[in-house]
Chain A
Amino acid sequence: MKTIIHLDTIEKQFAGSVVVPPFSLSIEEGEFLTLLGPSGCGKTTLLRMIAGFEEPTSGEIYLDGKPLSQVPPYKRDMNMVFQQYALFPHMTVEQNILFGLKMKKVSGAEQQQRLEEVLQYVQLTELRKRTPKQLSGGQQQRVAIARAIINNPKVLLLDEPLGALDYQLRKSLQLELKNLQKNLGITFIYVTHDQEEAMAMSDRIAVMNKGRIEQIASPAEIYNRPQTMFVATFIGENNIFQEDGTCTAVRPEKLKLYPRNEESEKHKKTGRITDVVFLGNLRKIYIRLDGTEMSVLAHQYANEGSDWQVDHQVAIGWSQADEVVLSC
């Protein structure tokens, strides 16, 4: 797999304080990489540095082997889909989409041909003469995407593009974007704070916290083998057991519950149920461990835990293989 973007010891400082400490990163051609993290973790800053809207304080970014430090955004072979779409209000959908080609003085014939292709792709052919004011959020989103991909960029940068949309629309657009990426083969660098989104769409996720990339791996890796405390607790729900200076993480669905009276080596902990939350196919069972202030969470699916109730005494067990040791 070819490396399409390489960040070499990139660091970013704002007014003297380090926003992104030095790190390096390679992004593969054709992959869907997501930068995931809470607000203020630096993911958007990173994206903007790649796009050319921020300068790294030190370090170098390479696109296809060529350094980008002296290259302004309008000369970089990438395009960005902005958070608030940034559609030109004084232009129609057509004019918006054609803007990039027009600036690069692509021939009229080719402009038209690519326009038709792209309009088909994002299903906006009927709305081509409308202005952004006359479009819904989802439609505006599509125009933003069309406007970017018509230029056949090497990389597409997406800055929380689905943030402003409602739940159902977000879900369907996630699928669409994923398919788009697979079909076009363009490298996607996607920024979001929504971990479900990241897990659903990405080939790899870079989990970021306070400017640092804590872990880069496939969604499965990230979920099952988190490497830091932050990753373990940021993604999904997790139980952290602290004993003798070691921290161990076990996912809620890996916890098995047994009645207290049964004796078994499988039992690792005991406790009392404090809460049972019924969520349809899933039951969340909160247990206060005996002798501590600590609560753990167990997931029970379908009819598995239907007998458990508040104040029941339980024993909890899990297999060694499901443990992840972290530095505390």
Chain B
Amino acid sequence: MLRTKRIKLLALPTLVWMGALFVLPMILMLALSFMKRGTYGQVVYQFTIDNYIRIFDPLYGMIFWDTLVVAVLTTAFSILCGYPLAYYISRLEKSKQQIWLLLVMIPFWINFLVRSYAWVIILRSQGVVNTILQSLGLIDEPLTLLYNSGSVLVGMVYTLLPFMVLPIYVSLEQMDYRKLEAASDLGATPWRAFWHVTLPMTKTGVVTGSILVFVSSIGMFVVPDVMGGAKSALIGNVIQNQFLSARDWPFGSALSIILMLLSMVLIGLYFKASQAGGSKEGAA
């Protein structure tokens, strides 16, 4: 007869809380996505899959596509900027590493609304960049640096960069440096050693970082809103719109569910990729 440990009960309040305030809302959202919208914006409790069919409308297709493109580009730029940074940090001595990591993390904790706003100050038509350029006489008219997809991209990469740096750093830290030494023993140049040894071994870190950045990107609506202005319509903005302006909660829910499925699929791919990579490393 097993002695059940009473200490296990300590988890009960938390599980109840998360069940009620996380699991339940998710289930409600799922249920809602199958409901109809009444003429005055209220919910009509009839089962329908119209919402999901509507998602396949080319209008939303374009928006999903745009969102994906932005997310992919954000991820790509994050890797380009984040990997060298992570690599540099991992090569420093331990005490310096801690400081640099803290430096990278601090902006991440600062409210990203504030951070996006900071870019607005810099990029807008009466902003810092334009003012400097104009006073130097390099341009006559202010440049439109803001309210386009470029500025949205800058905002996104800026916001999510720490998400990429940290996992890559961890992955570099855990790397077996002996393999690198073996490679240079066998005559590989530093660049080739990096390409054929370091890069594959840090694949997990890059994948983790990419997932984090990508999943965050597709749900963003604040950064596109602030940096992209009215022109920006990514899926996050649309969803927000459905709930607050258009008052079509069922449709908004359906969009959210699809968004979440997208995230889940990516996370699933991540697990597969990290396992495949793991077994390859094991064999090596």
The residues of A with any CB-CB pair to B shorter than 8 Å are 55, 69-70, 72
Contacts and interface: CB of A to CB of B under 8 A. Distances in A.
B2 interface: yes
B8 interface: no
A18 B3 CA distance: 21
Contacts of B2: 55
A57 B29 CA distance: 46
Contacts of A70: 1, 3
Interface string B1-30: 111000000000000000000000000000
A55 B3 CA distance: 9
Contacts, number: 6
A69 B2 CA distance: 9
Nearest to A70: B3
Q: Interface majority SS on B: helix, strand, loop or mixed?
A: loop
A70 B2 CA distance: 9
6 contacts: A55-B2, A55-B3, A69-B1, A70-B1, A70-B3, A72-B3
A80 B2 CA distance: 22
Interface string B67-78: 000000000000
A70 B3 CA distance: 7
A16 to B, nearest CB: 16
Contacts of B3: 55, 70, 72
Contacts of A72: 3
A72 B6 CA distance: 12
| 3 nearest CB pairs, A to B | A55-B2, A72-B3, A70-B3
A70 B4 CA distance: 11
Contacts of A55: 2-3
Nearest to B1: A69
A167 to B, nearest CB: 29
A69 B1 CA distance: 8
Nearest to B3: A72
Nearest to B2: A55
B1 to A, nearest CB: 7
Nearest to A55: B2
A69 B3 CA distance: 9
Contacts of B1: 69-70
A135 to B, nearest CB: 25
A67 B70 CA distance: 68
A72 B1 CA distance: 13
Nearest to A71: B3
Contacts of A69: 1
B6 to A, nearest CB: 10
A100 to B, nearest CB: 20
A292 B153 CA distance: 79
Nearest to A72: B3
A64 B278 CA distance: 52
B252 to A, nearest CB: 46
A317 B2 CA distance: 58
A55 B5 CA distance: 13
A217 B178 CA distance: 48
A327 to B, nearest CB: 38
B4 to A, nearest CB: 11
Interface string B264-284: 000000000000000000000
A271 to B, nearest CB: 45
A55 B4 CA distance: 11
A171 to B, nearest CB: 35
B83 to A, nearest CB: 38
Interface string B93-131: 000000000000000000000000000000000000000
A55 B1 CA distance: 9
A94 B148 CA distance: 68
